[in-house]
Structure 1
Amino acid sequence: MKGLVISVIVVVTMVQFMAEPGETAVVSCDEVDECLVYCVPYLTSRTGYPSALCCGGLAKLEKITVTTAEKQTACSCIKQAAAGFPSVKEDVASLFLRIAMFN
């Protein structure tokens, strides 16, 4: 979990340096949670593959986080949500963040 938190902090910090002045976020944590809810079983298990619903959620997250500010908000939301799942596979979660935020 410690590695996940560090990964998220690094990503958020990187995104903050790319922020455009005056950019505001319009994405909410509820929207981010809805996108990633189907990924929780994969992120907390030790086997298997992400479901089609999980992949669809990642695609939706990519579509709703266009601006830097929206990506920053999504990173914060993911960080908050991850804190509630101590069994999250850190390496997979970190990869998901990179895919979702920087494609």
Structure 2
Amino acid sequence: MASSMSLKLAYALLIVMVVGAPLAQAAISCGQVTSSLSQCIGYVQKGGAVPPLCCSGIRSVNSAAKTTPDRQGVCNCLKSLAGRLSGVRYDLAAGLPSKCGVSIPYKISPSTDCSRVK
């Protein structure tokens, strides 16, 4: 099961890197977002306790996304990644930032319009 999750993560990372290639000029890449938030995958699929490394990743990504293009890139990356993982519970994903004590300027949802993120 762990190797299956690793394979899914690797596949998602590859796709996100290809889709996110235009974001390469941003201060934070989609690959960095994916890597930083990899510890959150189990939580957004199954719930339970939020892993401390997940919260560390959220804080790290939030700190790195200093500009509007950075935040829009992170938003697009999150939507892309979530769309490629099976079993994502968006209610859990949307609540993650507040559970980790982080405020982000948009809701983590497949319906979020990332171009409106400031």
Q: TM-score range by the shorter chain?
A: 0.5 to 0.7
Q: For 1:12-23, what aligned pairs fall within 5 Å after superposition?
A: none
- More relative contact order, 1 or 2 (CA 8 Å, 6+ apart): 1
Bigger CA drift: 89-98 or 24-33? Answer: 89-98
Normalized against structure 1, the TM-score is what? 0.67
CA offset at residue 96 of structure 1?
A: 3.2
Q: What amino acid does structure 1 have at the position aligned with 2:50?
A: P
Post-superposition Cα deviations, 1:21-63, rounded to whole Å, max 9, x if no partner, equal: xxx7321100110111000000000x41110110110110111
Given that 1:29 and 1:77 are in contact with CA atoms closer than 8 Å, whether structure 2 keeps it comes out as yes
Q: Give the structure 2 partner of residue 61 of structure 1.
A: 61
Contact 2:36 2:60 (8 Å CA) reproduced: yes
Matched with 1:3 is none
Summarize the Cα distance change of 1:37–1:44 in structure 2 as closer, same or farther, 3 Å threshold: same
Give the aligned partner of residue 32 of structure 1. 33
Unaligned runs of 5+ in 1: 1-23
RMSD: 2.2
Residue aligning to 1:91: 91
> Are positions 1:43 and 2:14 aligned together?
no
Residues of 1 paired with 2:37 and 2:67: CA distance?
19
CA distance in 1, matches of 2:51, 2:97: 17
Q: Aligned equivalents of 1:67 and 1:96: distance in 2?
A: 21
Percent identity between the aligned chains?
Answer: 28
Residues in 1 aligned to 2:39 and 2:97: alpha-carbon distance in whole angstroms: 15
Question: Once superposed, which parts of structure 1, at least 4 consecutive aligned residues long, lie more than 3 Å away?
Answer: 96-100
Contact residue 36 and residue 57 of structure 1 kept, 8 A: yes
Aligned residue pairs, count: 79
Equivalent residues of 2:58, 2:97 under 8 A apart: no
